[in-house]
Amino acid sequence: MLEIKSQNKSHAFHFIEDEIITDIEAGTRIVRLSLYHDDGGDVQAYTKRAYASVPLRQYAEDGINKITVYLSINTYSGKEATYEFEYNPQ
């Protein structure tokens, strides 16, 4: 769930794949993603909720038992927040 500041224009969101590190012997993969947000020139008036899901199945393959995902988001305060998630595809 994202809390975006908007008034009445459409916003676009995309996930950018920054890096993938795979350790076949350990059966792990690290995926670093960034959230892209185009506010369409909207006024930052009201806080609204937006829901986004990350398709992680594409990172799972035979021999990969654990995927650690780091998702970086630029906040309205100008700082970058990074969240860590674990995905076990089994």
Q: Each residue of 69-90: pLDDT tens digit? A: 999 999 888 899 999 999 998 7
Q: Each residue of 16-48: pLDDT tens digit? A: 999 999 999 999 999 999 999 998 999 999 999
Is the separation of the CB atoms in 29 and 20 below 8 Å?
Answer: yes
At residue 90, the pLDDT reads 77
CATH number for the domain spanning 32: value is: 2.60.40.2370
| The total number of residues written for the chain in this structure | 90
Question: What is the average per-residue pLDDT within 60-67?
Answer: 92
Question: What is the average per-residue pLDDT within 52-77?
Answer: 92
Which residue range(s) make up the domain with 27? 2-87
Read off the amino acid at residue 20. Answer: I
The total domain count for the chain is 1
* C-alpha R_g of the chain: 16
